[in-house]
Amino acid sequence: MSEQVTVHGEVDSGFGPVADAFRRNFEQHGEIGAAVAVYAGDRPVVDLWAGYRDRKRTKAWARDTMTPVWSSTKGVTAFVIASAVSRGLLDYEAPVAKYWPEFAAHGKESITVRQLLDHQAGLAALDKPVRLSDMADLDALAVTLAEQKPLWRPGTRHGYHPITAGLYQGELLRRVDPAGRTLGRVLAEDFAKPLGLEFYIGMPEEISLDRVAALSATEGLDILRFERDLPVRIGIQLYAKRGLSFRALNSPQVGAPARASRREYLSVESPGAGGVGTARALARVYGAAAGDTGELPIDRELLNRLAAADTADDVPAEDLVLLTPSRYHLGFRKSRGSFRFGTDKRAYGTTGYGGSFGFADPATGLGFGYTMNRLGMAVLDDVRGRNLRTALLRCT
C-alpha cells in the first residue's frame, strides 16, 4: 500500500464515487501525482488533484499543475481540425492533396482527410530520420512528410500513427487556415482563450516549467506491483529494435517518454503527442462538445457527426501498430470492443501514453479529463483511468 494521500478540490453531490476511486488509485495503484475533472456541459462537477508533481515526492501537485499528456493531445487536435471542417476550409472526404498538392507523391493522391485522421494512411513512421529539433522547421518538415511512401495500401488497414499523425494534420491545417496559422496557434486563439483552457501545443516561454509535473517511468518491482496489462508483443519489438511498432513509436525521435517535461520538447508543436495541460482543460473542452454548449467553433451538425458510429467498419479491427483491436473516427477513439468508455457508442476521446485520457459522453453531456505523472504501460486501458470512468458511470 502507498502512503495516505490528501485529495484536494471539489465534487458535486452524486459524484462521490469518482473521488473514492481517485483516492484508491493512490492507495492501490501507485499514483505519484494526478488530477481528474468532469464537466457537465460548461459546469464543473468533479475537480480533484492530489500527490506530488516530482519523482522525489517533495513538490505537491497544485491546482494549476500541468502534465504532458502524449496522445491525449490527438483529441484536442481533432477538435481543431473539426473547426476547420465546420468553417468549410476542409472536407473529411476530400483528398489531402486537394489542399496540399505535394502530398500526392508516391501514390498518396487518393488518401482522404478522414483516412489521415483515422490512421489508415500508412504513414505511421518516416523513412528519413527526423529529430525533435527538425520538427521546429515546418517548411522543411513538410517536404519530408510529403515525400514519405505509405507503409501499407492506404484505406485497407489502420495502424496507429503515434507522432506522425499530428505532424501531417498540423501541416494540413497550416495550408488551409486563411492566416496560415499553426495548429497550436489556432488552439490558443480559437479554443483556449475563449474557454479558458490551460492546454498548449507548443508551450509558450512565459509558462514556468515549475508548473509542469515531472513524468516517471514505471520500472523494476513497480511493474509487478501495479501493471496488469503489459503490451508483450510491442515490448518484444522494442527490445529487438525492429518491427512496425518499434518504427512508429520512434519516429520522429523525440526522446524517452519520461523526459517529456523538458522545455525543448514542450516548446515544439507536436499535435499528435506534444500537448501539455490540466485535466480540467481536457474535461472542459470535451464537456463543451458533449453538452453542445455552443462555445466551440464547431457547428452542431458536425458535433453530431463526431458522436456518430465509426466509419471504418470495412477496415479490419486489428491495429497494425498497437497489435490490438481498436477503432478511430475523425481523429478520435471510439468506445468499442474490450475498450469501453462513456454511456454508449456515441462516446469519443483519446488516450495518451502512460494513462492520461479525455473523452466526451454525448448521452450524458459529460466531459472527462484525467492526467497523471506515473507512466503506466497498458496499450489503451490503464487501470487507473478505467477505475475513474467506471465510477463515473455509476454516477449517471
As to burial, measured by CB atoms within 10 angstroms (0-12 exposed, 13-18 middle, 19+ buried), residue 8 is middle
What is the DSSP-derived secondary structure letter of residue 68? E
Q: Are 173 and 96 in contact (CB under 8 A)?
A: no
Cα–Cα distance for residue pair 358/350, rounded to 1 Å: 6
Q: Are 104 and 237 in contact (CB under 8 A)?
A: no
Cα–Cα distance for residue pair 7/30, rounded to 1 Å: 15
Is 326 among the catalytic positions? Answer: no
| 123 grid coordinates | 504513414
Task: Calculate the dihedral angle through the C-alpha atoms of 175, 181, 183, 184, rounding to the nearest 10 degrees.
Answer: 160
Neighbours of 185 (CB within 10 A): 18
What is the DSSP-derived secondary structure letter of residue 188? I
Residues composing the chain? 396
The set of residues, in sequence order, having a beta carbon less than 8 Å from that of 319 and lying 6+ positions away, is 119, 158, 159, 160, 325, 326
Strand order in the sheet with 328-329: 7-11, 43-51, 33-40, 366-372, 357-361, 348-351, 332-334, 328-329
User: Which of these, 274, 228, 295, 260, lies nearest to 28 by C-alpha position?
Assistant: 228
What is the DSSP-derived secondary structure letter of residue 90? -
Could you give the 3-state DSSP secondary structure of residue 46? Answer: strand
Strand boundaries in 160-271, DSSP class E? 199-200, 216-217
Phi and psi based region of residue 243 (left: phi greater than 0; alpha: psi -120 to 50; beta: remaining): left
| 276 grid coordinates | 501539455
Distances (CA, A) of 363 to 41, 82, 290, 367, 369: 12, 20, 8, 11, 17
* List 71, 83, 326, 356, catalytic entry: 71
As to burial, measured by CB atoms within 10 angstroms (0-12 exposed, 13-18 middle, 19+ buried), residue 351 is buried
Known catalytic residues are 71
